[in-house]
Structure 1
Amino acid sequence: MSAGLPWDFEPLRTDRLRLRTMTPADLDDVLDYQGRDDVSEFLLHPARTREQVAEAITLCTAHTRLEQDGDWIEPAVELDGRVVGHMYLHLHSVENLGAEIGWTLHPDAQGRGYAREAATALLDLAFGRLGMHRVRAELDPRNDASIALCRRLGMREEARFVRDLREPRAPGGWADTGVWAILDDEWAARRADEKGLGSARRLPA
């Protein structure tokens, strides 16, 4: 097991954001983006109702500890007191020090670098405090915005599984799965490079 596990969630702060546990008080903010068809287009679930969002928040509040395979956290991304999205970190193999990262952001908050800022904080946590060796992202290859973010994070495309997922909203009822990933030493080198170049490397996501 990684020396960084178990780990109980603590809020993470970036220059502009706060990643924290969701609460029932976030319902309206979360519904504002999870209830949109354009947000759910490339997710594993359709747009959610108010009741479904409330259930999802309740589930998220119960997942705050990373210790064994299958454990996950889904922190809210808070900007100026408003939840504008959420992140996802899942331990898929403690033995092999492997994790999965994901993100969802309100369209109004896209294009300003927030997704990259939040993902960077989560990758710093994964490779730093948690001692992960490899972090992957699984996404719909039609999701150009997420692919662009993977590239900005220094992740590489490792696989594409063709029509491996039943998805009624996709053409023909099947969707592909793309796999992107980055290793701990690659992330460390990238972060060292970014710090050396300062704000010149802070590009919007």
Structure 2
Amino acid sequence: MFTPPYPIMTPRLVLRPFTEADLDDLHAFHSLPEVTRYLYWDARTREETKAALDRKIACASLGEDGDVLSVAAALAGGGPVIGDLTLFLRSREHRQGEIGFVFNPAYQGRGLATEAAREILRIGFEGLGLHRVHGNCDARNTASARLMERLGMRKEAHLVENEFFAGAWSDELVYAMLAREWHAGAASA
């Protein structure tokens, strides 16, 4: 079982497991239709956010294929939770992971999502020893695509009309990074 060395401090953020005290902060952005527009769930009621938070609290470590690590990104100095990050362990044998992220739009445009997501990649490559981490997004979700590009992930695929999503066919983008690319980027940073 792998548990990251919490708390993880960045210049402006604290990454840590979710707690029950995070309900209001999480609901502040999980309840926004513009946040969930390209996600597999709709804007959540407070009760739905509470149920999601309970699942996130239970996902504080990784061990087996299919396990999920849920990480809260809070502003340093006791600020609110502004981000919800996920690392999926897709295959231990093939050392494959997947990254996901959802952020409060009130804090967009400051590089905070990039700062937090970079640490999730670090957990994957340096903590878990993954070989490859990928991330997917709806092709219309340009903010997520740009974030993955800022992280140094390369676009591997543009899948055309591969999912029937929210009543229409949608395209999906797949981005990925290999461990050697992570280490080369970390060395040059």
TM-score bracket, normalised by the shorter chain, equals over 0.9
Pairing 1:64-143 to 2, within 5 Å after superposition: 64-80=60-76, 81-143=79-141
User: Does residue 183 of structure 1 match 2:181?
Assistant: no
Quick one: distance in 2 between partners of 1:56 and 1:97? 27
1:174 Cα deviation (Å)?
2.3
> Unaligned 5+ residue runs, structure 2?
none
User: Does residue 173 of structure 1 match 2:168?
Assistant: yes
Aligned to 1:19: 15
1:63 Cα deviation (Å)?
1.3
Structure 1 length-normalised TM? 0.87
SS in 1 for 2:139: coil
Quick one: distance in 2 between partners of 1:148 and 1:162? 19
1:151 Cα deviation (Å)?
1.0
> Unaligned 5+ residue runs, structure 1?
1-5, 195-205
Aligned to 1:154: 152
Quick one: distance in 1 between partners of 2:7 and 2:66? 21
1:135 Cα deviation (Å)?
0.4
Quick one: distance in 2 between partners of 1:85 and 1:152? 17
Q: After TM superposition, which residue ranges in structure 1, 4 or more long, deviate above 3 angstroms? A: none
Deviation larger for 149-158 or 7-16: 7-16
SS in 1 for 2:127: coil
- 1:180 aligned partner, one-letter code: Y
SS in 2 for 1:160: strand
User: Does residue 193 of structure 1 match 2:162?
Assistant: no
Which of 31, 49, 72 pairs up with 1:53?
49
Deviations 1:30-85 (CA, angstroms, capped at 9, x unpaired): 11101001101111111111000000000111112211110011111101420111
Residue 82 to residue 157, structure 1, CA distance change in 2 (3 Å) = same
Deviations 1:140-193 (CA, angstroms, capped at 9, x unpaired): 11111111111111111111222222312xxx5222221100000111111111
Q: How many residues align?
A: 186
**Aligned sequence identity (%):** 41
Higher relative contact order (CA 8 A, sep 6+): 1
